[in-house]
Amino acid sequence: MERKEHKIMVAVDQSQESMHALSWCLSNLISDTNNKKKLVLLHVQPPPAVCSLDTAGYVFAPEVIAAMEKYSMELANSVMDKAEAICRKLNAKDIIAERVIGMGDAKNVICSTVLKLDADTLVMGSHGYGFFKRTLFGSVSDHCAKHAKCPVIIVKQP
């Protein structure tokens, strides 16, 4: 029986840390081209019409929402382009990376995408935030390390 293709999902965002995690993955997990491996780049956008500070549930005017969505999509494309540039730089010939853009709360979307795409390994950066930022954002990697249904690799910036 042929072994199924090994699917590695890397969660990427605009942080240097996530790009470092991708580089680590390419150098350490995908360097062995004899194995069948597939790379999935996952970027999660925030849910529409909710900005990260919108805890009070503000409602925005349609043009503001449209501008935020446009910005969000441009950011996603820029993150993906940067990630693919790293793939080309480190693995020019072999790797075809699939782009997946999710929307919602990053930690939940990452875990559910692991399930949905049946990923074998999840790779992500661990933001080196201080206390305040960690309280707000830092729990994504903690949450995924606990809840994702596959091995999780947390790569820190050296």
Among 15, 23, 29, 91, binds a second copy (CB under 8 A): 29
Listed residue (25, 59, 58) closest to 41, CA to CA: 25
Residue 150 in contact with a second copy, rule: CB under 8 A: yes
Of the candidates 11, 12, 18, 24, which one interacts with a second copy according to CB under 8 A?
24
Q: Please identify, using beta-carbon distances, which residue of 105 and 120 lies nearer to a second copy.
A: 120
| Residue 55 touches a second copy, criterion: CB under 8 A | no
- The helix/strand/coil state of 22 is helix
Q: Does residue 28 belong to the site contacting a second copy (CB under 8 A)?
A: yes
**Tokens coding 124:** 């992500």
Element spanning 41, H or E: strand 37-45
156 binds a second copy (CB under 8 A): yes
| Interaction of residue 18 with a second copy, rule CB under 8 A | no
- Based on the shown chain and the rule CB under 8 A, indicate whether residue 142 belongs to the binding site for a second copy: yes
Structure tokens given for 117: 């795409």
> What CA–CA distance (Å, rounded) separates 65 from 46?
12
Nearest alpha carbon to residue 107 among 56, 155, 68, 147 = 147
Residues within the interface to a second copy (CB under 8 A): 6, 21, 24, 28-29, 31-32, 34-35, 121, 126, 141-142, 145-146, 149-156
